């Protein structure tokens, strides 16, 4: 056995914090590594020692050198980056350090999806028809998936339904795979349109003991990346659980697997057949749901196995208790096809109730940039029933006080509360078939109340900052003068709505408030839907009372209804989280200068990123759907296409250019304006 006194975690963010938590509980010191982009990240300051990596997290030699210099006994790779790199694992052990993970040979075999598939077939695990020749789909059939042989996380994957689209899909998958994993090998595999993504968690030690910890279902995905996971699956009964568990254990034993790993399968929802997909030789992002239902800390087991201990329990000792569901909170905009979002978190404060597990690498003030995956947190609810877990998780997401960056929070809560999810109808086509709401829609009453709450919080904050007569009540006047007034814009799914809030203090400390919309009509509906013009909103007059005021919140009573708001101020914007969602209110200047109208006929970058390819030239005529520009953001490719037939009159970017969200890419002259 090898005693581990100090552990270096060769990863970042919530991954590093997650491993630190268990390592400290086991009495170990923790060493962090960080790139320049992460120098102020929470995980860096939480470590006992932090080592800078000038070359970033993929520099294996620098990681090993940092571990030796910091006096670490072992290296935990986390999940992602070099976690499934056999060469890095060998470098760690050759340096005399303990590698917390499977043997390099097992990583090598399972890290190559083609070799892993051959090993599965040898172990008697069913596999899907495939082809190692990406130009030959004859034995696979359509629809099919182009997949990178190395890596995972949805990168290097393309769904192809039309043979004419195969060549371009292969080229794009190769680029993504090379950029993400350093290997552009791809292959073809049969695609099951209606299936479930099932994972079996395995644990093995160096003494030949292997067990499985039940299954997780990870079918709800966008861009082939999971966003909601649960354990156990509603589609797996006791008999099937035993069958797939035995298959996973059989495969693990055939390659001498030790440490934690995941055998991924596809379950045909119509036939009940299951097929091998791949093996992940590391922890998965969704491992907490297995921990919650089994009570087994998977990081602890990894560290015990790495130190040479036996598992100490058999398959018969493992049972699944209740139900757990995890949601991945991302900085992205579901209303624009889940494009990544960037910015600085003006607020990040989970509510104290309901009680759920938050695994996160960010805090208020953290910057979300382009360097890394845009996941902000994993939120996990464990409850006696699946319905209760779903409700608890949705409520925790809704009560999160988060601002400054667009997120998928509303989309996740909508999915969790949908009839299809609650009925267990969660096949891989869930998002396209169910189409949960992608953006919150505020009612006129809700945005008026938010505007009044913002105005009340602001006037109290300004009173506290007064340099003279601070003791005087806010808004007090010796004579009868016009009321105080705040010009505000409330952000809604359909665009900003201007609200004028007038308020006058009364003898009992309350305020006589008048809130009126500064627009002729309030648009209802969310992006992608037809907007319905509602009648102009009349001014509403009521009495508002501040029941409590705090620098980070206000309890406001208005017309007999009291709501407590968490508040974060960010320049001229105020972010308020009340009984659901977060509302952003912008303070408008009293006298604004007129501005010119927006430029027409231009294409703007839908997200920050790098231009990979420009496929058109000035003067070129294109047809609807033609790809004009290929961008890469967050290590994923995005195609900017023509919405209709037309002519490219000007190209404003070139391959290799770094662009911000909204940067003009080209000027386009439409032959005929598209609908909408």
Residues 393-430: tens digit of each pLDDT? 999 999 999 999 999 999 999 999 999 999 999 999 99
The CATH number linked to 259 is 3.30.470.20
Claim to verify: residue 417 and residue 449 sit in the same structural domain: no
Q: According to the model, what pLDDT value does residue 251 have?
A: 96
- The structure's pTM equals 0.84
Query: Do 256 and 370 share a structural domain?
Result: yes
Chosen domain end from 587, 621, 646: 587
Residues 286 and 369 in one domain: yes
Instruction: Give the DSSP letter string of 539-581.
Output: PEEEEEEEEEEETTEEEEEETTEEEEEEEEEETTEEEEE-SSS
Same domain, 264 and 364: yes
Same domain, 450 and 427: no
Strands 6-9 and 29-34: parallel
Residue 26 lies in a domain: yes
CATH of the domain at 626: 2.40.50.100
Do residues 41 and 135 share a domain?
Answer: no
How confident is the model at residue 501, as a pLDDT? Answer: 93
Does residue 273 form part of some domain? yes
Q: Determine, yes or no, domain membership for 342.
A: yes
Residues 350 and 296 placed together within one structural domain of the fold: yes
Q: Is residue 120 part of a domain?
A: no
pLDDT at 597: 46
For the four alpha carbons of 127, 133, 138 and 143, in that order, the dihedral sign comes to positive
Residues 170 and 247 in one domain: no
Q: Report pLDDT digits (tens) over 603-631.
A: 888 777 888 889 989 988 988 888 888 88
Compute the distance between CA of residue 445 and CA of residue 462 in angstroms, rounded to an integer.
Answer: 26
Question: Would you say residue 117 lies in a domain?
Answer: no
The whole-number pLDDT of residue 525 equals 47
- Is 472 inside a domain boundary? yes
* Residue 172 resides in a domain: yes
> What pLDDT score does 292 carry?
98
Out of 587, 617, 641, a domain closes at: 587
Containing H/E element for 487?
strand 484-492
Q: Is the distance from CB of 546 to CB of 460 less than 8 angstroms? A: yes
Tell which of 190, 212, 241 closes a domain: 190
We report the CATH number of the domain holding residue 73 as 3.40.50.20
Rounded Cα distance between 53 and 55, Å, is: 5
Residues 47 and 181 in one domain: no
Given a cut of 70, the residues of the chain with pLDDT beneath it are 1-2, 151-154, 465-481, 518-538, 590-601, 634-636, 672-676
**Same-domain pairing of 91 and 158:** no
**pLDDT computed for residue 522 by the predictor:** 47
Confidence at residue 622, expressed as pLDDT on a 0 to 100 scale: 87
Domain at 151, CATH number: 3.30.1490.20
Which pLDDT score, from 0 to 100, does residue 535 have? Answer: 47
Same domain, 464 and 569: yes
| DSSP secondary structure letter of residue 127 | B
- Residue 458's domain comprises 444-587
Q: Is residue 380 part of a domain?
A: yes
Overall domain count for the chain: 5
Whether residue 141 sits in one domain with residue 224: no
213 neighbors 290 (Cβ within 8 angstroms) = yes
């Amino acid at each position: 056995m090898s005693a581990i006194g100090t552990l270096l975690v060769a990863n970042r963010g919530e991954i590093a914090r997650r491993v630190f938590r268990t390592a400290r509980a086991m009495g170990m010191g923790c060493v962090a590594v960080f790139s320049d982009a992460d120098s102020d990240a929470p995980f860096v300051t939480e470590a006992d020692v932090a080592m800078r990596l000038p070359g970033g997290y993929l520099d294996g030699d620098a990681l090993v050198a940092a571990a030796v210099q910091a006096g670490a006994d072992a290296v935990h790779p986390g999940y992602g980056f070099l976690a499934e790199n056999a060469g890095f694992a060998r470098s760690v052990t050759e340096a005399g350090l303990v590698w917390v993970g499977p043997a390099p040979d097992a990583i090598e075999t399972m890290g190559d999806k083609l070799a892993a598939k051959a090993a599965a077939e040898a172990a008697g695990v069913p596999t899907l028809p495939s082809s190692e020749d990406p130009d030959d789909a004859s034995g696979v059939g359509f629809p099919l998936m182009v997949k990178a042989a190395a890596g995972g996380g949805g990168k290097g994957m393309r769904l192809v339904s039309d043979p004419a689209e195969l060549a371009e899909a292969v080229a794009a998958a190769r680029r993504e795979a090379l950029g993400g994993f350093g290997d552009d090998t791809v292959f073809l595999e049969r695609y099951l349109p209606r299936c479930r993504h099932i994972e079996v968690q395995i644990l093995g030690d160096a003494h030949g003991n292997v067990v499985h910890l039940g299954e997780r279902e990870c079918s709800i995905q966008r861009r082939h990346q999971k966003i909601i996971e649960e354990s156990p699956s509603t589609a797996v009964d006791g008999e099937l659980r035993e069958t797939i568990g035995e298959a996973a254990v059989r495969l693990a034993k055939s390659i001498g697997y030790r440490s934690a790993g995941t055998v991924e399968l596809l379950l045909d929802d119509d036939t009940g057949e299951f097929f091998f997909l791949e093996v992940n030789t590391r922890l998965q992002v969704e491992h907490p749901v297995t921990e919650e239902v089994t009570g087994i800390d998977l990081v602890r087991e990894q560290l015990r196995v790495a130190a040479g201990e036996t598992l100490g329990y058999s398959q018969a000792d493992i049972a699944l208790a209740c139900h757990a569901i995890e949601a991945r909170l991302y900085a992205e905009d579901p209303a624009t096809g889940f494009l990544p979002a960037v910015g600085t978190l003006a607020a990040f404060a989970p509510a104290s109730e309901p009680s759920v597990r938050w695994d996160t690498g960010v805090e208020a003030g953290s910057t979300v940039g382009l360097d890394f995956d845009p996941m902000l947190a994993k939120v996990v609810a464990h409850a006696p029933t699946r319905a209760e877990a779903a409700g608890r998780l949705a409520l925790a997401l809704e009560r999160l006080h988060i601002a400054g960056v667009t997120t998928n929070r509303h989309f996740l809560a909508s999915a969790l509360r949908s009839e299809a999810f609650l009925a267990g109808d969660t096949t891989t086509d869930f998002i396209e078939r169910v189409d949960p709401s992608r953006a919150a829609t505020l009612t006129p009453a809700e945005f008026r109340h938010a505007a009044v709450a913002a105005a009340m919080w602001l006037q109290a904050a300004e009173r506290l900052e007064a340099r003279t007569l601070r003791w005087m009540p806010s808004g007090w006047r010796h004579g009868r003068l016009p009321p105080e007034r705040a010009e505000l814009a409330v952000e809604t799914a359909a665009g900003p709505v201007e609200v004028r809030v007038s308020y006058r203090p009364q003898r009992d400390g309350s305020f006589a408030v008048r809130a009126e919309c500064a627009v002729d009509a309030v648009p209802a509906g969310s992006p992608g839907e037809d907007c319905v013009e509602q009648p102009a909103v009349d001014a509403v007059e009521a009495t508002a009372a501040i029941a409590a005021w705090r620098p980070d919140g206000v309890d406001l009573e208005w017309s007999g209804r009291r709501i407590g708001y968490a508040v974060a101020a960010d320049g001229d914007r105020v972010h308020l989280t009340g009984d659901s969602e977060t509302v952003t209110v912008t303070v408008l200047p009293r006298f604004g200068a007129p501005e010119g109208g927006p430029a027409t006929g231009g294409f703007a970058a839908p997200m920050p990123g790098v231009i990979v390819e420009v496929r058109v030239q000035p003067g070129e005529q294109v047809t609807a759907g033609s790809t004009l520009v290929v961008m890469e953001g967050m290590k994923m490719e995005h195609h900017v296409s023509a919405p209709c037939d037309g002519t490219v009159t000007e190209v404003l970017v070139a391959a290799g250019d770094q662009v911000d969200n909204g940067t003009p890419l080209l000027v386009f002259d439409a032959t005929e304006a598209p609908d909408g």
